[in-house]
Amino acid sequence: MYSFLSNNPSARIKIAVLAVSLLSAVACGSSSPTGSNGCQVITGNTTTSFPAAGGTGTMSISATSSCTWGANSNAAFLTVTQGATGAGNGTVAFSVAANTGAARTAALTITDTNDAYADTVVTITQSAQ
């Protein structure tokens, strides 16, 4: 019988720390993918709730100055009013129309226009009347 790892607890801890360190390095990469001018857009909260009366909101975008991005809605009741496109750090402003029916949900999507990173989706929920 062969044993790949020793039964030494200290060795197991070192291997676990190495695995976590490698995972962190991959998840928090400091550069764009090879051959890409992509950027990673960071927005903060990924869920925002509104009352039936509707309202307005803003979202801060954190990105490098060479990053270009766009913001769009998938529902008629959620409108991007400012910052539909931008580069680097910025702000997206949006409005939520009054709701006269059942509770509803929409997605506000922030896209790296270079298509190097996955979209960031912010869920907007609104209460029923």
Bridge partners (DSSP) listed for residue 48: 124
Provide the domain count of the chain. Answer: 1
Flag whether 86 is in a domain. Answer: yes
Which residue has 């993918």 as its token pair? 33
pLDDT digits (tens, 9 = 90+) for 23-54: 222 222 233 333 345 566 676 777 889 999 99
List the domain range (segments joined by +) for residue 63. Answer: 47-126
Which residue has 């962190």 as its token pair? 24
The better pLDDT of the pair 44, 92 is held by 92
Residue 13 has pLDDT above 90, yes or no: no
pLDDT value of residue 38 = 57
Q: What is the CATH number of the domain that holds 111?
A: 2.60.40.10
Backbone angles phi, psi at 112, to 5 degrees: -70, 110
Q: SS3 letters for 28-65?
A: CCCCCCCCCCCCCCECCCCEEEECCCCEEEEEEEECCC
Task: Point out the least confidently predicted range of 12-16, 28-32, 69-73.
Answer: 28-32
